[in-house]
Structure 1
Amino acid sequence: MNIYCIGRNYAKHATELGNAIPEEPILFSKPTHALVETKGQSIGLPWELGEIHHEIEIVLRIDREVKAGDRLSDVVSQMALGVDLTLRDVQSKLKEKGHPWLRAKGFRNSAIITPFWSFGGEEECEKTDFHLIKNGETVQHGNSKDMMFNFQAIMEECVQCFGLGEGDLIFTGTPEGVGPVTSGDHCRLLWGAEEKGQFTVA
């Protein structure tokens, strides 16, 4: 299983961090040890490494080996919500040096996902907003219709650059509103009004 992620896929998120709007998808990956499923549990994070930011995203699961020309509906039947956690202080230092982001993006428990449910297609997803609620307050909300690169384009880019196979996951980008989490924060991930997962930061 591989975990691929798309950076700066929502224009307002790129702008809030002072980044340029990308002309092609920005791709990075996370190790499999970064993955953890929400079960209402406490999830430990490496506070000694600096500020950690939340980034809620739609996650797609690949059903089988993807070949050039495949349509999204042929290879994706499940989706989830995820939180891409970022060591922001570490990332800023890496970016200044022109180094890869892996240390800031790939630490253990940095790819949090809810249980999967049936994927209804791109158009169906655009009918529903997703939300991250922290300590009872909505801190992020988004809709896939605001992505600069849609699911099909993201899939094609990943296939061309890396290949995609059964069980691979794609984190499709985060909307604006990213911010820090601290120990004790309680987070809920909602698809429309339906809670899909929750966890407490430890």
Structure 2
Amino acid sequence: MNEIRNIYCVGRNYAQHAKELKNEVPTSPFLFSKPTHALVETQGQEIRLPNDQGAIHYEAEWVVHIRQPYEKGMSVDELVDQMALGIDFTLRDIQSELKKKGQPWLLAKGFKNSAVISPFIEFPGIEACKQVDFSLLKNGEYVQKGNIQEMIFDLQTIVDFAGQHFGLGKGDIIYTGTPAGVGPIMDKDHFALLWGQKKLGECSVIFANN
């Protein structure tokens, strides 16, 4: 896997997902980050997740890799060279408590192995990506399906926002948000990430004290 620098994640970027969690639909991009220690590439392996911090939910996402430093006016097709699919694992009970307190989400989003990612493939351009659905299978059944055309904030808006507020450079990646259908995981669940009909990655999860 390429050396990854910053991991940016877009929250509530699909209207139906925001509604299913009873969140307001945002009017401007809402970003948070994960530490690089959270990142793990799918290789068909078992991935360890904590078993003592409440419910964990899966959130499948389209992920892009930045190939050069952002400058104002750059297009997505100039900035992005590779793409992948990922799962943003979330400690949902902890996140709910953090929301009530108005505190940052890091404890709920940044734990080890919480940023699962498939191997990267070549980015074919934004228009080509709009023609393909991505999906998540849990134990062989479809649980999430989305298309980037459904995003509230398109990728150009996201990279402009991130680039201007935080900076974007070579090796940064962006998890672009999850469609509706998120739900809890169980010990030994198996996940597969599909781009169209092509499987980009798969893994299983096991609960353990990390």
1:92 corresponding residue in structure 2: 96
**2: CA distance between counterparts of 1:122 and 1:175?**
18
1:134 corresponding residue in structure 2: 138
What's the Cα RMSD here?
0.6
Deviations 1:66-120 (A, max 9, x none): 1111111111010000000100000000000000000000000000000001111
1:119 corresponding residue in structure 2: 123
**1: CA distance between counterparts of 2:32 and 2:126?**
22
1:200 corresponding residue in structure 2: 204
Pick from 58, 61, 64 the counterpart of residue 65 of structure 2: 61
Which 10-residue stretch deviates more, 150-159 or 64-73?
Answer: 64-73
1:45 corresponding residue in structure 2: 49
1:28 corresponding residue in structure 2: 32
**2: CA distance between counterparts of 1:124 and 1:87?**
34
What does 1:164-179 correspond to in 2, within 5 Å? 164-179=168-183
1:64 CA displacement: 1.2
1:70 corresponding residue in structure 2: 74
SS at match of 2:72: coil
Structure 1 runs, 4 residues or longer, greater than 2 Å off: none
**1: CA distance between counterparts of 2:192 and 2:125?**
24
**1: CA distance between counterparts of 2:136 and 2:120?**
17
Pick from 180, 185, 190 the counterpart of residue 194 of structure 2: 190
1:11 aligns with 2:33: no
SS at match of 1:45: strand
**2: CA distance between counterparts of 1:134 and 1:31?**
25
Identity of aligned residues (%): 56
Deviations 1:159-191 (A, max 9, x none): 011000110000000000000111100100000
The normalised TM-score by structure 2 is 0.95
- Stretches of structure 1 lacking an aligned partner (at least 5 in a row): none
**1: CA distance between counterparts of 2:126 and 2:77?**
9
The normalised TM-score by structure 1 is 0.99
2:164 corresponding residue in structure 1: 160
**2: CA distance between counterparts of 1:174 and 1:42?**
23
1:123 CA displacement: 1.4
- Stretches of structure 2 lacking an aligned partner (at least 5 in a row): none
**1: CA distance between counterparts of 2:170 and 2:44?**
27
Count of residue correspondences:
202
